[in-house]
Structure 1
C-alpha cells in the first residue's frame, strides 16, 4: 500500500502472528492504512477479522513472548514496531490512548475511578496528587458525569454501564492524546447513550485536533461518525474509501453482505434481513486465494479457479480487493440497499 509521507499514523504491510498449541494464528495479514490529524478512520468487519489485534499492535500491547509482528507502524514519523517497552510506555496514555471495548473489565475493581484517571496524568505530566485528582474531576465533568467531585471517589461497580464508558473516555483523554483508538465504545449501551458518547468523541476531536480510529461492526454508527472507512476480513483489508464512497457504492461482495444484513431506513418492518452465508474462516488455516471465496456468491462470474488460487490485492486509494471487473464491482449491489439505519 502506498502512503503519503505526511500521514500522522501510517501502517504498512503489517503482519501479526500468534503462536498457539494448535498452530500459528495469522491474525493480521499484510494490512496497510494511514490516518491524518483531525480525521476519523472507521474499521469494520465481523468478530475475528483483525480489527482489535491491529490496534493493539499499534499501542504495543501484545505479549512479545507469543506474538510475531512484522511491518511498519509509524506514529508522527516514529517507528513503533520493535520499539523498546520504555519508549512505548512514554507514548501510551500520553500521545496515543485507547478506549477498550469492555469498560467493566478494563477498569480495575480495586481502585477508585478517580485514581485510575489521575494515575496516567501524574505519570506523564509530573503533577502532584492534588493536581491529578483535580484533573480527574475536570475530566469526569467534561464527559458528563454528574456530581463529578463526589463520584471521583466511587469504584467502577458503582457506575452504570454508560458512566463506566464515559470514565474510560476520560481516562483515555486525560493527557490529550493525539491518537485515540476507540474499540467498540458503544457496545452494550442503549441508543441514547451511544449517541451521547459518539457526539462527545466528535466534540473532543474538534477541540484537540486528535486522530481517531473507531473500531466497530455497526455500519449505522460509522455512517454518521467517520471520515474514511476500512473494511477488514480474515486479517486483510478488502475495501477502503471515504465513508460516503463505501456506503453509497460498495465494491466488495463482503461489504455488500454487511450492508445487506443491515436494517434500512425505508424498509418494510416485515422484510427479513439477508445474512452472509457460512462462517468466517479459521485464521489457523485461512483459505487460499481470496479469503472470502468460500462464502461468495460471485465466484462463478470471475471464472476458473482464480478466486480459489490467486489473492486479490487492494489497489491504492479507493478500491476493493476483488477479482470481479471494476465495472461489475460498481453496479452489482443495488444502490437503494446502501442506507443503513443510523445508530
Structure 2
C-alpha cells in the first residue's frame, strides 16, 4: 500500500544510506551513513572528488546496483514510497516514470545501433504500453523539440554518432523527461562540454524545473556549476557527508577544511588573477581501508589527535540548516577561514 505524502514533505528523502560492495580485496564502503532531502522545485548539488560516493548514491536511489554484489541499508523514500527492499520489478516501474537519470556519458549511454528517436520512443512505451508507434514517435519529437534540438522530426531518425556532444546531452535529457518524472538525477551533465554548451544545458535544466517543478539532484565535481543552479549543496568525502546547507551559506562561509580545499583549487573572479591555485595535498582515501577517525585527517593541516581517532558527526555550524562534520570549534573554523583561506582569494 502506498503511503500518502503530505504536501510539505520532501519528494526525495534519503536517511542513513549505506552502500557496500563485496570485492576480492575486501568490502568497499562506498556510501557510509548519508542523509538528505530534496523538495519539489528545488535542486540539491552533491559535490566531491572522484570516489567520494556521489554517483553510487544516485545509482542506489534508482536501484541500479547489482543486487548480488551490493548491500544497501538505510531508507530511500521517493514520493512517500520506501524503495530499499522493494522488489526489482516495482522499482523498475518507478524508474523512468517517477524518477529518471541523466547519465554522465551520453555516447556510451545511448545505444549506437538504434536511432535516438527510437530509443526515446521506447522509453515512453515502456510506461505507456497502450501507446502506439505513432503516438510514441510524436511524443519523442515533441520532447526533442522541448530540449532545444533543431529539426526534431529529422533528428528523430538519426543515430547518436550523428549528434554533437551537446546535442547528445540534450537527447539524454529528452529521454529522462519523456515520462515527466518528478525526480531527476543529473550525473555530471556538463562533463566534456565547452562552456557555452555547458551554460545552455544548465539553463535548460532550470527552465524544465520551472515548468515541471521537478526535484533535481545534480552531481558534480565543479562547485561553479553547482553555484549556478543548486539551492542546497551536500559535500561528500570518503563516502560520508562532511558539509550540508544552502548554496549561499556553504559557498560564502564554508566550514569544513575539505570544502576550503575544493574552493581553493578552482579559479576565482574575486581573487588575485596572478595568484596560484592551491591544490588539496594527498589523494582521496581507499574506501576499503578508510583512515581512522575523520577520513580527511591525513590531508588536513589542522587535524589533531581527536581527528585521528574519532569520526565526527554532522552538527550545526552556527547557522540554521548549515551542518558540518569537523572537530574544529566554530571559533577556530571562523579564524582559519578568515585569516588563512580568504587570503588566497576563494571567498565568494
TM-score normalised over the length of structure 2: 0.93
Aligned to 2:261: 257
Does residue 189 (structure 1) correspond to residue 196 (structure 2)? The answer is: no
Does residue 292 (structure 1) correspond to residue 291 (structure 2)? The answer is: no
The answer for unaligned runs of 5 or more in structure 1 is none
Aligned to 1:280: 284
SS at match of 1:64: coil
Question: Is contact 1:38–1:206 with CA below 8 Å preserved after alignment?
Answer: yes
Aligned to 1:33: 36
Aligned to 1:315: 315
Counterpart CA distance in 2 for 1:297 and 1:94 is 47
Does residue 87 (structure 1) correspond to residue 82 (structure 2)? The answer is: no
Q: Which range moves more in the overlay, 139-148 or 251-260?
A: 139-148
SS at match of 1:299: coil
1:174-224 CA distances to partner (integer Å, 9 max, x unpaired)?
Answer: 011000000000000000000000000000000011000000010111111
Counterpart CA distance in 1 for 2:76 and 2:300 is 32
Aligned to 2:244: 240
| RMSD across aligned positions (CA) | 1.4
Q: Mark the CA change 1:62 to 1:308 in structure 2 (over 3 Å): closer, same or farther.
A: same
Aligned to 2:163: 159
Within the candidate set 90, 99, 102, 1:99 is matched to: 102
Within the candidate set 58, 62, 68, 1:59 is matched to: 62
Aligned to 2:118: 115
Shift of 1:339: 4.7
Shift of 1:166: 0.3
Shift of 1:266: 3.2
Q: What number of residue pairs does the alignment pair up?
A: 333
Shift of 1:315: 2.0
1:53-86 CA distances to partner (integer Å, 9 max, x unpaired)?
Answer: 0010000000001000010001111110111111
SS at match of 2:301: coil
Counterpart CA distance in 1 for 2:56 and 2:250 is 23
Counterpart CA distance in 2 for 1:29 and 1:331 is 30
Q: Which range moves more in the overlay, 194-203 or 312-321?
A: 312-321
TM-score normalised over the length of structure 1: 0.94
SS at match of 1:71: strand
Counterpart CA distance in 2 for 1:330 and 1:36 is 30
Counterpart CA distance in 1 for 2:293 and 2:61 is 27
Question: Is contact 2:11–2:37 with CA below 8 Å preserved after alignment?
Answer: yes
SS at match of 1:259: helix
Runs of 4+ in 1 over 6 A off after TM superposition: none
Shift of 1:6: 1.5
Aligned to 2:3: none
